[in-house]
Structures are given as C-alpha cells and as structure tokens.
C-alpha cells in the first residue's frame, strides 16, 4: 500500500473538521473497535470519531441498517459513516461505499446500506477495490480493520469516492415485509428491542397531526401505501401477543408507572413500552412478533 502524504490531504481537506461515525456489533469488551480507531487516527490524526453504537445484536444486519438510517440525517453532510456488521466477512460479499448528498457510507454490501439507499435514491455506490486505500495484506476475518477503516479515513480526508473503485449499478437489498393495511386495521411486527426493552415496530412514518389524530404517511419504504391513513389515537387498540393497549399516547407519563403504553417514537415508528419498565420482558413479546392496530 502506498501512503498518501498528510500534507496532500491537508491541502485538499474541507474547512470543517473531518468526522467519522462508527456503528458495529463488536461490543466494547474486546479490542476490535479500538483497533479500527487506531487505523483511522494513523491516517488522519485530527479526525473527530463518533460512536453511534457498538451494541448491535451480533450479525443483525437489519437492526444495524435501521439504526444507521435513523441517525445519519442528524450529522453534517461531510461526515463519513463507517458501519461494520459483517457475518459474511471472507466470503464473496463486497466492500462498498455509498456517496450521498448527506454523507458517505462505508460498509459491507450485505444489506447494511439498503435503508439509506432507499432514502437516498440518487446516491452512488462504489466498489472499494483499490488496495492503495487498504492496509497491506488484509486478513480474511477483519475487514473492519484492514479495508473499511482505512477506506473511511481516506474518504474523510477528501479522497474522491470514485478513486477507490468502479461505480456499481445495484447494492444488496433487505427484503421489506409490507404492512397489512385495511380500512380498519394496520398489522406490522416488532423489528427491534432497544436497551430499555421498548418494542419498536415496522409501523413507521407515523406523525401527530394534532393532539388527537395520527397519520401513517406513504414512503419509499412502504411503496404500496399510496394514500395517508388518518385515525383517532384514542380509538386505536394496539394488540401484541395476549395484550391489548387502548389508544396511542404522546408520552410515557400519560399512563401510570408499570403500565403498558403505545407511543410514536422519535423516528416516527410505533413503539410499545412499559412506563419505567421492560416491555419485552413484561409482555413476553419478541422480535418478529405481530403487532396490530385496530381502529374500527
């Protein structure tokens, strides 16, 4: 690997301080994240590193894809987002970068960037095939250190994405299970359980029109929904497992401590929680379990 001088980087570097965010399933007990940061800092010492999370469930690509899609819009557009949840490391899956108007993403091509791609349809995927931007002799088991981290560092320094490889026509997708929507019902499922035991569903793109009316909006991630569905929050019954929650509230504190509550989370998805408790444990509901809204 040839080393590009930092003086060259400094000449081309944007005025804003470079930023790299990190999202992995590596946890914090082992040295994996620390090694990746060391690689990045060796290439660009003044980088600002931001940990999104390293507690993604092991090999849970869909969970990581959802987290990434929910957070990237809150970062400056010059940020580089490095995401490594890579159960296929060492196989034929490819390392890629995705250039968008809201940042550059570096990840394995295993679906991890699928939701970002849906939200950024004009983005450009590039195969990271130029070894000059890798560490020498990359291992077959730690591409996060040997390929993704150095590539992200070079991109943060201003190296054009297209210098790293050829443009791709497509990237790996994640199958989207559409919501079942009728005039009196919306059925989805639990897709993620957070640190607090809150049940996050794929009933997304909800918003409050006022203090009483909720709207489910059409989106690129739910293409079969062409007309907004508007319902009275107080008339909704939320059914999960053996439990029925009457109405959707705006905050946790609108029910007593220990009671179940359905709310619209900060990312616009329906969530089921226990006020100051763990909904997954109390309600015995897990990922992929169905959640139904009835408003007949």
User: DSSP for 169-209?
Assistant: S--------PPEEETTEEEEEEEEE-TT--EEES---EEES
Interacting residues of 220 by C-beta distance below 8 A, sequence separation 6+: 118, 119, 121
1 falls in which pLDDT band (50, 70, 90)?
A: very low
How confident is the model over 56-108, as pLDDT tens digits? Answer: 989 999 889 989 998 999 999 999 999 999 998 878 899 999 999 999 999 99
113 falls in which pLDDT band (50, 70, 90)?
A: very high
- Of residues 202 and 31, more confidently modeled: 31
Residue 229 has pLDDT above 90, yes or no: no
Neighbours of 259 (CB within 10 A): 15
- What the chain holds in terms of domains, given with CATH numbers, is 6-163 (3.40.50.10790), 180-294 (2.40.30.90)
- Of residues 248 and 221, more confidently modeled: 248
Mean pLDDT of the chain: 88
Q: What distance in Å separates the CA atoms of residue 169 and residue 175, rounded to the nearest whole number?
A: 18
Q: What distance in Å separates the CA atoms of residue 37 and residue 43, rounded to the nearest whole number?
A: 10
269 falls in which pLDDT band (50, 70, 90)?
A: confident
Q: What are the distances in angstroms from CA 13 to CA 16, 38, 156, 174?
A: 8, 20, 8, 35
pTM for the model stands at: 0.81
Q: What distance in Å separates the CA atoms of residue 276 and residue 259, rounded to the nearest whole number?
A: 9
Residue 283 has pLDDT above 60, yes or no: yes
Residue 292 has pLDDT above 60, yes or no: yes
Q: Lowest mean pLDDT: which of 6-20, 158-172, 240-254?
A: 6-20
How confident is the model over 24-48, as pLDDT tens digits? Answer: 999 999 999 999 999 999 999 999 9
227 falls in which pLDDT band (50, 70, 90)?
A: low
Are 110 and 139 in contact by the 8 Å Cβ rule? The answer is: no
> What pLDDT is stored for residue 268 in this prediction?
83
> What pLDDT is stored for residue 148 in this prediction?
97
Angle at 188 between CA 187 and CA 189, to 5 degrees: 135
Closest CA to 71 of 50, 91, 96, 41: 50
| pLDDT (average), residues 193-200 | 90
> What pLDDT is stored for residue 111 in this prediction?
94
> What pLDDT is stored for residue 144 in this prediction?
94
252 falls in which pLDDT band (50, 70, 90)?
A: confident
């Amino acid at each position: 690997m040839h080393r590009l001088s930092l003086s060259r980087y400094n000449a081309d570097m944007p005025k804003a301080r470079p930023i790299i965010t990190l999202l992995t399933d590596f946890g914090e007990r082992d040295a994996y994240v620390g090694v990746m940061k060391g690689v990045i800092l060796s290439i660009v010492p003044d980088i600002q590193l931001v940990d999104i999370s390293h507690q993604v469930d092991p090999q849970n690509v869909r969970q990581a894809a959802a987290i990434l899609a929910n957070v990237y819009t809150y970062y400056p557009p010059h940020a580089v987002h490095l995401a490594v949840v890579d159960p296929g490391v060492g196989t034929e899956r490819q390392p890629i970068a995705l250039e968008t108007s809201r940042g550059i993403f570096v990840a394995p091509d295993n679906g991890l960037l699928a939701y970002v791609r849906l939200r950024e349809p004009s983005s450009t995927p590039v195969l990271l095939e130029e070894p000059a931007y890798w560490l020498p002799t990359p291992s077959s088991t730690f591409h996060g250190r040997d390929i993704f981290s150095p590539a992200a560092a070079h991109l943060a320094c201003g190296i054009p994405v297209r210098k790293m490889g050829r443009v791709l026509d497509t990237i790996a997708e994640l199958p989207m299970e559409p919501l079942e929507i009728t005039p009196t019902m919306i059925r989805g499922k639990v897709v993620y359980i957070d640190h607090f035991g809150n049940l996050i569903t794929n009933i997304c793109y909800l918003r409050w029109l006022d203090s009483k009316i909720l709207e489910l909006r059409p989106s690129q991630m739910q293409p079969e929904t062409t007309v907004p569905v508007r319902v009275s929050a107080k008339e909704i019954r939320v059914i999960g497992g053996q439990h029925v929650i009457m109405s959707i509230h705006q905050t946790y504190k609108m029910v007593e401590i220990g009671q179940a509550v359905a709310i619209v989370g900060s990312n616009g998805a329906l969530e089921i929680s226990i006020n100051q408790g763990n909904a997954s444990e109390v309600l015995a509901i897990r990922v992929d379990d169905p959640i139904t809204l009835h408003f007949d």
